[in-house]
Amino acid sequence: MNKVILIGNLTRDPELTETPTGVSVCKFAIAVSRDYASSDGTRETDFFNITVWRGRAENCGRYLKKGNKVAVIGSLQTRSYEDKDGIKRNVIDVVANEVEFLTPKNAQGEGEELPVKNGHPQLEEIDDNSLPF
């Protein structure tokens, strides 16, 4: 089984292109902080290259931008290439099957501002007695 689930922030704006046959492809990178801190208290970050295809690629290219938080579900693919000095390089990419946009609309400059507490958007509290169930 080859499945990976990542949540992170875009490190740059996505690049939306098309193959010669007209298939949309979007590439971007995300930074994912590790869950634990090192002995000196710092948290390390890993960086992953993401590739998205077809309609999902078009949505990513249209709506995502640097700094947005996303959840990505996909698989790992390895590839090799020779750099300009003739050295063989190996790369691991994540090919995304699903991309969930996690940045609230207000953080993208759209919609109403949600109140923020401890760095997280806060939803309006609802009185349980007003619920119809």
The pLDDT assigned to 109 comes to 52
Q: Would you state the pLDDT for residue 111?
A: 42
pTM of the predicted model as reported, rounded to 2 decimal places: 0.74
Higher pLDDT: 39 or 45? It is 45
Residue 122 has pLDDT above 80, yes or no: no
| pLDDT at site 129 | 67
**SS (HEC) of the chain:** CCCEEEEEEECCCCEEEECCCCCEEEEEEEEEEEEEECCCCCEEEEEEEEEEEHHHHHHHHHHCCCCCEEEEEEEEEEEEEECCCCCEEEEEEEEEEEEEECCCHHHHCCCCCCCEECCEECCCCCCHHHCCC
pLDDT at 113: 47
| pLDDT tens per residue, range 76-97 | 999 999 999 999 999 999 999 9
